[in-house]
Amino acid sequence: MNKEIAKKLFEIQKVVAGIKKEATNPFYNSKYFDINAMLKVLKPELHKRNLLLMQPLSSVNGNPAIRTMLVCSETGEIFEEVTPIIELKDPQKAGGCITYYRRYALQSMFALEAEDDDANAASGKSAPKTKSTTKKMPF
């Protein structure tokens, strides 16, 4: 990964905490954060740092994939990851699959945490505390 993009990604991770689970999956009666909520949080932070996010459809060895790209508008440098996806013939199911993989590719790339305030509040527990460690980054 390019040092400039790594610095900018690090800055984004410092300010973007968790994303609230506000969408409901009716099949599993569970909450999740949808891609629009995620983009609403990420895009302003990306734009502040002159980063363009793209997720075009792509292919790997002739099979469908999602290409998640961060492009630095100042340098033209690109950081990208490719996620193979399953091929579906039904366009509606394929669209849902594409959105699902896009969401998880973004969650992985930005190391986003899901806030589950409702579950913690219902159980009477507070969110778990994490132990942090400090390491010198190469940038």
How do residues 20-61 score in pLDDT, each as one tens digit?
666 677 777 776 677 888 899 999 999 999 999 999 999 999
String of DSSP letters for 81-133: EEEE----SSHHHHHHHHHHHHHHHHHHHTTPEEE-HHHHHHHTPPPPP----
Q: What is the pLDDT of residue 123?
A: 42
pLDDT tens-digit series, residues 67-94 = 999 999 999 999 999 999 999 999 999 9
